[in-house]
Amino acid sequence: MLETQVPEIQRSNLNSVLLQLVASGIRDPVNFDFIDAPPRDALVKGMECLRTLGAVDEDGFLSEVGGKIVEFPVDPSLAKMLVTAADYSCSEEILTIVALLSVQSVFYRPMKKKQELDNMC
């Protein structure tokens, strides 16, 4: 076991962090002075993902879609689904899917029921 924990920013998906930095006016979030900087390749991949989603343009500026995406408190890929769902007339369905994907342990089985099921097998 490690003597100290690895900082969360070095272990997690950086897409939301990078999008917030761009929305805050940081032109080059890959070279941002983080206290515990994540790996550079993770930052580059995160920016590539944001470009693929259309959240930032080739110059690293926030796009119109990115301005909408940044308003949602979910992962940028899920926010992009919400933003584009209206174009396909499926907003309610996508909202349900995003809600399910945004929460851990959506399907809860009481311990007693789980033990009964395990005993049956």
pLDDT at 27: 85
**Contact by Cβ (8 Å): 82, 101:** no
In the chain the first and final C-alpha atoms are separated, in Å, by: 36
pTM of the model: 0.75
pLDDT at 44: 92
Rounded Cα distance between 102 and 117, Å, is 27
Question: Which residue segments constitute the domains of the chain, with CATH numbers given?
Answer: 8-120 (1.20.120.1080)
2 alpha carbon, distance to own chain's centre? 27
The pLDDT profile of the chain, 121 residues, written as one tens digit per residue, is: 557 776 665 566 889 999 999 999 998 898 999 888 888 999 999 999 999 999 999 998 999 999 999 999 999 999 999 999 999 999 999 999 999 988 877 777 676 665 666 666 6
Rounded Cα distance between 66 and 68, Å, is 5
